[in-house]
């Protein structure tokens, strides 16, 4: 599509994003009970799995490398979780929206030029900051005793770095080897350079 403006999402981008979000939405739904079962005793152990809920944004951004897909992915995955009656219910959509905005903001800050491990990790961490913003009024987070609150924050950041930083990076690297990423990424300058040789 020659007339298409660079950066605008076409139907392929949207559909690939949504299908990937559907996969992650189902993973969110299946991880929900695991997360809930880690909650008793209040030791914040469930926070070690929290990172998986931030994965959709960084993963799709690394995969498609276009503006807007991280936000769309995180929101769509949250909506899928709602439609499959995930344990949070309607809350998920709000969390999805805010996490999507924060996740997207990191890639935007790099002007959509860098899709590396670093930006993936930053994006995951940004999403967890987004989740804290909702957790303060919703979960009375600041009403916890100091050590418990610290545990919550540290665990959440650790899991965001591993599950929403390293994991999507590993997955996309592996997908690159299969060649499937060539279907969905925009054409880059390097691709044209190859043709010139």
Partner 1 sequence: MDPVITDTSKLFFKVNPSLKLICFAFLFILYLSVQNLNTMIWTTVAFSIVTLWANGLPRKWSVGFFLMTFIVSFFSASAMILYGKGSHVLFQWFLIRTTEESLARGIQLGLRTFVFGLLGVLFASTTPPVPFFYSLMQQLKVPVRYAYGCLAAFRMLPMMAEELGHIRQAMKVRGMSRQKGLRAFYERFLHYALGILVQSIRRAQRTAVAMEAKRFSMKEKRTFYYQIGWSRKDLIFLSVMTVTVVSGFLLSRWIPLTPYTNVIDGY
Interface with partner 1 includes 187 (CB under 8 A)? no
Provide the minimum distance between the beta carbon of 116 and partner 1 in the complex, in angstroms, as a whole number: 20
Interface with partner 1 includes 14 (CB under 8 A)? yes
- Closer CB to partner 1, residue 110 or residue 117? 117
Instruction: Please report where in the chains the tokens 């959440």 appear, as a residue.
Output: 156
User: Residue 73: which H helix or E strand, with range?
Assistant: helix 69-83
Interface with partner 1 includes 94 (CB under 8 A)? yes
Choose, by CB under 8 A, the member of 6, 111, 140, 192 that binds partner 1: 140
- The tokens describing 87, both together, are 């344990």
**How many residues of this chain bind partner 1 (CB under 8 A)?**
58
Residues in contact with partner 1, shown as a per-residue x/- string from 51 to 80 under the rule CB under 8 A = ------------x--------x---x--x-
- The tokens describing 108, both together, are 């935007």
Q: Count CB-CB contacts under 10 A for residue 60.
A: 31
Cβ distance 57 to 127 under 8 Å? yes
Provide the minimum distance between the beta carbon of 196 and partner 1 in the complex, in angstroms, as a whole number: 27
Interface with partner 1 includes 168 (CB under 8 A)? no
Contacts 24+ apart (CB under 8 A), 84-87: 84/25, 84/26, 84/29, 85/29, 86/28, 86/29, 86/32, 87/32, 87/33, 87/35, 87/36
Instruction: Please report where in the chains the tokens 């190859």 appear, as a residue.
Output: 194
Choose, by CB under 8 A, the member of 30, 34, 85, 109 that binds partner 1: 85
- Closer CB to partner 1, residue 145 or residue 187? 145
Closest by Cα among 34, 71, 58, 75 to 172: 58
Cβ distance 42 to 148 under 8 Å? yes
Provide the minimum distance between the beta carbon of 197 and partner 1 in the complex, in angstroms, as a whole number: 27
The interface region with partner 1, picked from 86-94, 108-116, 118-126, 155-163 by CB under 8 A, is 86-94
Q: In the complex, which residues of this chain contact partner 1 (CB under 8 A)?
A: 9-12, 14-23, 36-37, 39-44, 63, 72, 76, 79, 82-94, 137-140, 142-145, 147-148, 152, 170-171, 174-175, 178, 180, 183-184
């Amino acid at each position: 599509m020659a007339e298409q403006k660079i950066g605008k999402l076409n139907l392929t981008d949207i559909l690939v994003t949504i299908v990937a979000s559907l996969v992650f939405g189902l993973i969110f739904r299946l991880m929900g009970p695991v997360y809930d079962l880690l909650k008793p005793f209040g030791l914040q152990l469930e926070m070690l799995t929290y990172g998986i809920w931030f994965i959709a944004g960084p993963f799709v951004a690394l995969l498609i490398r276009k503006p807007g897909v991280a936000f769309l992915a995180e929101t769509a995955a949250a909506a899928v979780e709602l439609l499959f009656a995930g344990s949070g219910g309607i809350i998920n959509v709000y969390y999805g929206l805010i996490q999507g905005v924060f996740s997207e903001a990191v890639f935007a800050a790099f002007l959509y030029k860098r899709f590396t491990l670093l930006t993936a990790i930053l994006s995951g961490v940004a999403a967890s900051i987004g989740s804290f913003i909702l957790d303060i009024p919703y979960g009375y987070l600041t009403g916890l005793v100091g050590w418990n609150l610290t545990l919550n924050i540290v665990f959440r950041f650790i899991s965001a770095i591993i599950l929403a930083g390293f994991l999507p990076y590993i997955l996309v690297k592996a997908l690159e080897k299969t060649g499937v990423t060539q279907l969905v990424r925009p054409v880059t300058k390097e691709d044209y350079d190859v043709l010139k040789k």
